[in-house]
Structure 1
Amino acid sequence: MLEALGLSKTSELVYLALLDYAGSDCHHLADHLDLTEREVCEALDELTRMALLQTGDNSRCRPPRLVDPEVGMAALIARQQADIARRQQEIEESKLALTRLLSQHSDSRPSSGDPGIEHLRGVTAIRRRLREVAASSEWETCSLTPGGAELAESLPASRFLDSDAVDRGVRLRTIYLDSIRNQPAAIEYAQWLSGAGGEVRTAPSLPQRMVIVDRRIAMVPVNVDDDDESAVVISIGGVVNALYTLFSSVWRSSAPLGLPRSRDSDGLTDQGREALKLLGKGSTDEVIARRLGVSVRTARRVASELLTRLGARSRFQAGARAVARGWVAVDDLD
C-alpha cells in the first residue's frame, strides 16, 4: 500500500505495527512481525529518513516516536509529487533535445553529413527500414505507438515482426494511447501481444512515435505533429540514450494493459486531464483528436463536456479555471 510512496515492504510493516502498537520497542516489534531485530532497526532508520519517525534519539532501547501520521503522509505525498514533476521535466527536456537534433539535421542539410543520422522519405522506405531495424534486435525493443484509426493499418505487418522478436527471446515493451481501448482491432492486437509475451501499457498521450532497439539505434519521425512522410534513424549514443530516458519516463507513468480507467479525486481520468491541458493551451479539436488518438467528433464532445463542467466560455478560460481549481498546473499550459 505504501510502497508507491517510496517505503520498502519491511518498513511499511513496521510503520503499520507502530500505528497499532504505539510504544513498542525494537525487540517487541521483531517478535510481533516475525522479523530479526536488525531488519526492524533498518526499517526504523528508513522511516526516520522519510520523516515518519521523530529524530534526535537513536537509542535502540527506547520505543520509536511517530510523527503525526497525517503530517508524515502529507510530506511523503509531496515528495512523490515533486518526483513526478521532475520526471515530467525530464520528458520535456528530452523532447526539446530531440527537436533541436532534428532541426540541425533537417532535409536542407546533406543527408551524408553525419554517419549517425540516416534520413528516410516515403512510407515504403520507412517501413522497409523499420523491418530491418526490428529484425536486428537482440534483446530489447521499446516502442511509443500513438495513432488513432490509422493504427489498424499497420497491425498485420507488426504482428509478424513482433511474433518473430518474441520467438527470439527479445523483450518487447510497447506503449499505446489509452484510446485503443475503444478500437476493437487495436485492443485485440495489444491483448495478443501481451499474451504472446510482450509488455504492453497505455498512456493518455504520447510525446511522439519512436522505436528504440537494444538502446543503440532509434527511429523517429522528422516532424512530430505533421503528416510529412519522413523519418530518421539515429545511432548516436548520447541521443539514443536521451530518447530511451524519455521512453522510460513515459513507461513509469503509464498503466499496464487491462487495468480499468480510474478517476481521481476531481472525477477526471488521465485522458480527461490530458484533454484539459490541451484545451487550456487553446488546441483545436483536430489537435486534441490527434494527440489522444480519438476521432474529431469524440474530441469535440470531450471539449464541450469539460467547458460545461468548468462553466467556461472559451478554452483559455477553461484552462484558467482548471488551474484555479488545482486540476492542472500552470506549467502544463505553457
Structure 2
Amino acid sequence: MLRALGLDAVSEQVYQELLAEPTLDATLLAERLGLSQDQVGTSLDTLADLALLRMSREAPQQRRPVSPARAHALLLRRQEEELQARHAALEANRIAVATAAEQATRDQRRIPTGTEQLDGLDKIQSGLESLIQSATTEICSIVPTQMPPEALEASRALDEDLLARGIALKTLCHEGARTNPRSLAYARSMSAAGAQLRTAPALPHRLLLVDRATALVPLDPAAPARSAVLVTTPGIVTAMAELFDRIWTDATPLDQAPAIERATGITATERELLKILSTGLTDEAAAKRLGVSVRTVKRRMEELMRRLEAGSRFEAGLRAGQHGWL
C-alpha cells in the first residue's frame, strides 16, 4: 500500500520490519532483510525525511516508526502537495505560452510590410506550425491537389487542436476529393468536428491565410515543397483574402452535391473539363489539374460527347460552344 503512495520498495521493507520489531538497529535490519548497510541507511534516511520515523519517547536517542494510519496520511498529503505543485507549474506554463503567442501576434501585426522566404520542407513545416499557433480567429486554406495519406494524418492533429481552441477553419478542396475515399473520409471527419469545407472544380495554387493578416504560399507552384513565402504585406494579403472569398462563395459545401446549371444542364466540373481539353491539354494533364484519375477524365469526356452527339473531341468542342457550355 505504501508503494502506491510513493514509497520505494526497500524503504517499505525496512518500515514493515521496524513495525514488527521497533528496536532493531541498522545492522540487524540488514541481516534480517538481506540488504547492505548502505541500502538500510539510505532507507532510514528516506523514512526520516518523510516523517515516517519519530524520536522515541522512551529512548530519546532512538527512532521509532509511526503507525500505519499516520504513515498513510503523511504520504497521501505529500502526494496531494506534489500534485498541487504540478498543477500550479502547468498553469504557469500555459499562461507563459499564451503570453508568448499573444506577443508574437502583436509583433506580427506591428510589421506593416514584409515577406520571408522559407527554403526546404523543415523550414516550411516549422513556419507553418508557428503560423498556425499564432492564429486567434480564423484560418482559410486552399488545397488544390489530393494530399497523400501521411500529409492528411499530419494535418489531423493540427486541425483538431485549432478547432479545440475555437479557431474557425475554412478549407477549399478540389472537387476530386469527393471521389477519393481517404480524402473524403478525412474531410467528413473534420466537417463533423466543426470545420467548414467546400469543393470547386478548379482552384488556384496552395494558400494558407491566417487571421487575414498573414499568408503562406509556395514560391514555385510547380515545386511547392522546395520553397514557400510568408507574406505580411497588407495589400497582398487582402488581395489573397478577396480571391479566397470569391471562390468560396461559388464553391459547393461538402454535404451538398455539385449543382447542375439550369441553362446548360452541366455541372461546373464538366464545364471546367471542357475548358481544359479545349486548350489542347492531354487527359493526363487534365486529370492532374482536376485532381481525378485519367480514367475518370476519359469516362466524363465520353459522357459529354454522348450528350453532345459528337463523334470526336473536336466536334464536341464545337457543339459545346454552340450550346453555350464554354
TM-score (norm 1): 0.59
Which residue number in structure 2 is paired with residue 76 of structure 1?
none
Pair 1:300 & 2:298 matched = yes
2:130 to 129, 132, 154: 132
8 A Cα contact 2:121 2:225, kept in partner:
no
Q: How far off its partner does 1:228 sit? A: 6.2
Which residue number in structure 1 is paired with residue 181 of structure 2?
184
- CA–CA separation in structure 2 for the residues paired with 1:318 and 1:230: 41
8 A Cα contact 2:261 2:267, kept in partner:
yes
Which residue number in structure 1 is paired with residue 151 of structure 2?
154
- CA–CA separation in structure 2 for the residues paired with 1:201 and 1:320: 32
Q: In structure 1, list runs of 5 or more residues that go unmatched.
A: 1-113, 329-334
- CA–CA separation in structure 2 for the residues paired with 1:145 and 1:208: 8
SS at match of 1:143: strand
- CA–CA separation in structure 2 for the residues paired with 1:226 and 1:288: 18
Q: Which runs of 4+ in 1 moved over 4 A?
A: 225-228
Relative to structure 1, the CA distance from residue 327 to residue 151 in structure 2 (aligned partners, 3 Å threshold; closer, same or farther) is same
Which is worse superposed, 232-241 or 302-311? 302-311
8 A Cα contact 1:216 1:240, kept in partner:
yes
SS at match of 1:282: coil
SS at match of 2:230: strand
Instruction: Map residues 1-334 of structure 1 onto 2, 5 A cutoff.
Output: 116-148=114-146, 150-225=147-222, 229-265=226-262, 266-310=264-308, 311=310, 313-315=312-314, 318-328=316-326
Which residue number in structure 2 is paired with residue 53 of structure 1?
none
CA RMSD in angstroms comes to 2.2
SS at match of 2:172: strand
Matched positions, count: 213
Relative to structure 1, the CA distance from residue 115 to residue 244 in structure 2 (aligned partners, 3 Å threshold; closer, same or farther) is closer
- CA–CA separation in structure 1 for the residues paired with 2:292 and 2:132: 27
Q: How far off its partner does 1:243 sit? A: 0.3
Q: How far off its partner does 1:198 sit? A: 1.1
- CA–CA separation in structure 1 for the residues paired with 2:316 and 2:224: 29
Q: How far off its partner does 1:115 sit? A: 7.1
Q: How far off its partner does 1:188 sit? A: 1.2
Cα deviation digits, residues 95-153 of structure 1 (max 9, x gap): xxxxxxxxxxxxxxxxxxx97222223333322221221111111100011212x4433
Relative to structure 1, the CA distance from residue 298 to residue 250 in structure 2 (aligned partners, 3 Å threshold; closer, same or farther) is same
Residue type of the alignment partner of 1:210 = L
Cα deviation digits, residues 284-331 of structure 1 (max 9, x gap): 22221122111123223333443454415345x543432221112xxx
Q: How far off its partner does 1:267 sit? A: 3.2
- CA–CA separation in structure 2 for the residues paired with 1:160 and 1:220: 21
TM-score (norm 2): 0.60
Q: How far off its partner does 1:227 sit? A: 6.0
Relative to structure 1, the CA distance from residue 230 to residue 286 in structure 2 (aligned partners, 3 Å threshold; closer, same or farther) is farther
Cα deviation digits, residues 141-184 of structure 1 (max 9, x gap): 00011212x44331111111111111111111111112211112
- CA–CA separation in structure 2 for the residues paired with 1:274 and 1:188: 25
SS at match of 1:238: helix
- CA–CA separation in structure 1 for the residues paired with 2:128 and 2:155: 10
- CA–CA separation in structure 2 for the residues paired with 1:295 and 1:185: 15
Cα deviation digits, residues 54-104 of structure 1 (max 9, x gap): xxxxxxxxxxxxxxxxxxxxxxxxxxxxxxxxxxxxxxxxxxxxxxxxxxx
Relative to structure 1, the CA distance from residue 256 to residue 173 in structure 2 (aligned partners, 3 Å threshold; closer, same or farther) is same
8 A Cα contact 1:141 1:213, kept in partner:
yes
- CA–CA separation in structure 2 for the residues paired with 1:152 and 1:203: 21
Q: In structure 2, list runs of 5 or more residues that go unmatched.
A: 1-111
Larger Rg: 2
Relative to structure 1, the CA distance from residue 301 to residue 210 in structure 2 (aligned partners, 3 Å threshold; closer, same or farther) is same
Cα deviation digits, residues 212-231 of structure 1 (max 9, x gap): 00111111112334566322
8 A Cα contact 2:218 2:224, kept in partner:
no
SS at match of 1:137: coil
Identity %: 40
